[in-house]
Amino acid sequence: MPVQGRRQKNNVRKIRESKMMSKAELARKTGLSVQTIDRVEKGFYCRIDTKRKILAALDLDLEDRDGVFFME
């Protein structure tokens, strides 16, 4: 189980930028704060529900999660 405070690499920023989406736009689409998006992009721990919201906002399926959020 991941420990809060331990960072885990992910591709959220890379994918968001490839879709020409700002952090604010991703935050609005997910219903999360810009601060939360920033923390996720920096690799801080986030809940599964947060990951689901981000995947949906990036127009990705749950099957795409391993390419966004690397194995934990």
Closest CA to 15 of 40, 46, 34: 40
Provide CB contacts within 8 A for 28, sequence distance 6+. none
Angle separating helix axes 48-57 and 34-41, nearest 10 degrees: 100
**Taking residues 12-41, what's their average pLDDT?**
97
The pTM (predicted TM-score) of the whole model is: 0.86
- Backbone φ and ψ of 13, nearest 5°: -60, -45
> Coil, strand, or helix at residue 10?
strand
Q: Which domains does the chain have, with CATH numbers?
A: 12-61 (1.10.260.40)
Higher-pLDDT residue of 42, 4: 42
